[in-house]
Structure 1
Amino acid sequence: MRIGELAERTGLSRDTVRFYERTGLLTARRLPNGYRDFPPEAVPWLRYVRTAQALGFSLAEIARTGAELDGAPDAAERLSELLRQKIALIDERTAELAALRADLVERAASGCPLAPS
């Protein structure tokens, strides 16, 4: 399918589809007239990419894990483990931010906010 149809079917812009192609997340063959021709599998793949991004995965993580999971018989289990790892990372960052917030609150209430604690 051509880029316009792929963009329409996925709800992405043509520029986004081109960006994903440039970054290696998506491949297309070139027709003799120079148009891109994307396989039908590009539609669910791009939906996966967008969902993974919305869940906090970087494009590099998506590219790496997408290749690892493609066709793997235990893909669902492995994907669940990746989600658990992402949850743990979020929990760590939340704790770090809570500690930072507490420090800022304490400093804001002190007479000398930049004094060593």
Structure 2
Amino acid sequence: MRIGELAAQAGTTKDTIRFYEKVGLVAGRRLANGYRDFPPEAVAWLHYVRTAQTLGFSLAEIARHGDELREAPDAAEALSALFEEKIQVIDARMAELAALRAELAERVGIGCPLRAIGQSG
């Protein structure tokens, strides 16, 4: 299928597909007339990419794990492992944000919030 048809079926733009092709997320072959031709399964793959992005995965993460997930005999098991890894990353980031929030809360009401706590000013 040509890029316009793929974009319409996947609910994205031709520019997005071109970008995904450039970074290796989707592959099409070039026809003799120069048009891109994509396989029908590219529609499902683009839906997968968009869902993965919604779940917080970067395009680099999607690209890094895409082939192994497509070829995994038990994709649910492979996905669960990736989800668990992502949860750990999110938990670590939440802890960092909580520490940052606590630091900022300590600085509320002091003369210069950029000075170190306990430094006279």
Instruction: Give TM-score, length-normalised by structure 2.
Output: 0.91
- For residue 88 of structure 2, what is the amino acid of its counterpart? A
Which residue is equivalent to 2:88?
88
Which residue is equivalent to 2:107?
107
2:34 is the alignment partner of 1:34: yes
CA shift at 1:71, angstroms? 2.1
Number of aligned positions between the proteins: 117
- For residue 66 of structure 1, what is the amino acid of its counterpart? G
Greater shift, 61-70 or 102-111, is seen at: 102-111
Which residue is equivalent to 1:77?
77
2:17 is the alignment partner of 1:17: yes
Question: Equivalents in 2 of 1:101, 1:42: separation in Å?
Answer: 43
Instruction: Give TM-score, length-normalised by structure 1.
Output: 0.94
| Structure 1 runs not aligned, ≥5 long | none
Query: Deviation string for 1:54-75 (max 9, x for gaps)?
Result: 1111111101111111121122
4+ residue runs over 6 A deviation: none
Provide the aligned C-alpha RMSD in A.
Answer: 1.1
Identity rate, percent: 68
Question: Equivalents in 2 of 1:31, 1:115: separation in Å?
Answer: 63
Question: Equivalents in 2 of 1:31, 1:114: separation in Å?
Answer: 60
CA shift at 1:114, angstroms? 2.5
Query: Deviation string for 1:3-30 (max 9, x for gaps)?
Result: 0100000000010011101111111111
